[in-house]
Amino acid sequence: MSDEALPVKARGLVKRYDDVLAVDHIDVNVRAGDVYGFLGPNGAGKTTTLRMALGLITPTEGTVELFGRDPLRQGARALQGVAGFVESPRFYPYMTGRKNLELLAALDGDGAAARIDEVLDIVDLAPRARHRVGGYSHGMRQRLGIAAALLRRPRLLILDEPATGLDPAGMRDMRLLIRRLAGEGITVLLSSHQLPEVQELCDRVAIVDSGRVVYEGALADLRRQGGAGYRLHCTDDARALELAHEQPGVEHARAGEHGLLFQADERSVGALSLTLGRSGIGILTLTPELATLADLFFRLTEDSADGSGTREPSATAHAPDPVGAARLLESK
């Protein structure tokens, strides 16, 4: 697929509200087949970016394209093959789940009504389809929002904080559902502030802090860039920590909850092992560990706060898009 046909391509996206800079020159590249995590704390500018990407609000600067289409120029036609929700999906609470979907299918057309049973099965809501939405749990309403999006047979599914407010069982069900949809070839753009959710689901991420992208790329690459980490438990952890600080090539040595944590290449790890042995310290366990997403997230955002965060180089530019006939169930 050419760069021009990326499911989502944002270049230099900026949004200002008076003297507040909510989004600061964001670039995003969502590729076909990605489960793409748009990760950042609350208030980082994630939802504002999604609203600009879908044409719900106009950017101050910069452009977005969906599958190479500019929504500002092409309107609702630019949302062909795109569905999802921003913030929380909204439905008529006094109507049943099925009636809500029938109403949306009538708006969508294109045979959407014939897919209602199918999408209810996909999100495991068929047994509750004839119950009023007002009696649904938060997780059920989130799944009904995904069912509404699936009526359009999307190639790109945009989900804004889909697991927020769910209990552990609901979060597990949501993860399983997203994995299943991704396995069927749907590209997923998932906004979240929950590190475990992104780590379990996503293969590529953009980490956003204070309206800026401080990292964009493969999650596996990010974790490798964090360096090879090791956890050491021995017969004298306190003395071992002193020796680790003195050992060339061993960095960031510190006491952890279960032993010592440090970063080093394999040669330096071997040298430290010999040093410990010569000092009469027995190694009980020595295990390699990749940096967790939490470690990397806090390292990147702390660097960004110091003004040293890195950003992906910008490329060419283009624009945002509207809702209209698309099944983007935006809260009002």
* Stronger pLDDT, 31 or 315, i.e. the higher one: 31
pLDDT value at 257 more than 80 = no
3-state secondary structure of 234: strand
Lowest mean pLDDT among 39-48, 121-130, 134-143, 181-190: 39-48
3-state secondary structure of 41: coil
Of 14, 12, 8, residue with least CA distance to 58? 14
Q: What is the pLDDT of residue 328?
A: 40
CATH of 3-223, picked from 3.40.50.300, 2.40.30.10, 1.10.10.10, 3.20.20.70, is 3.40.50.300
Q: Are strands 35-39 and 204-209 parallel, antiparallel or unpaired?
A: parallel
What average pLDDT score do residues 4-13 get? 90
Average pLDDT of the chain is: 84
Q: What pTM did the predictor assign?
A: 0.73
What average pLDDT score do residues 162-188 get? 89
| Amino acid type, 71 | P
pLDDT value at 272 more than 90 = yes
Domain range summary for the chain, segments of one domain joined by +: 3-223, 227-290
Of 145, 157, 146, 160, residue with least CA distance to 193? 160
| Amino acid type, 195 | L
Q: What is the pLDDT of residue 166?
A: 84
pLDDT value at 149 more than 50 = yes
| Amino acid type, 96 | T
* Type and span of the H or E element at 23: strand 20-30
pLDDT-derived band at 227, boundaries 50, 70, 90 = low
pLDDT tens column, 284-329: 999 987 666 777 777 777 666 555 444 333 332 222 332 333 334 3
pLDDT value at 170 more than 90 = no
What average pLDDT score do residues 191-204 get? 87
What average pLDDT score do residues 18-23 get? 93
pLDDT value at 238 more than 60 = yes
pLDDT value at 52 more than 70 = yes
Q: What is the pLDDT of residue 178?
A: 92
Please give the C-alpha separations between residue 226 and each of 96, 129, 181, 292, 295, in angstroms, as whole numbers.
49, 46, 30, 9, 8
pLDDT value at 332 more than 60 = no
Q: Classify domain 227-290 by CATH architecture.
A: 2-Layer Sandwich (3.30)
Lowest mean pLDDT among 150-154, 271-275, 324-328: 324-328
b/e code 120-151 from CB counts within 10 Å (16+ = b): bebbebbebbeebbeebeebbbbbbbbbbbbb
pLDDT-derived band at 50, boundaries 50, 70, 90 = very high
pLDDT tens column, 100-133: 999 999 988 778 899 999 999 999 999 999 999 9
Q: What is the pLDDT of residue 225?
A: 67
Concatenated DSSP letters for 49-94? HHHHHTTSS--SEEEEEBTTB-HHHHGGGGGTTEEEESSS----TT
3-state secondary structure of 295: helix
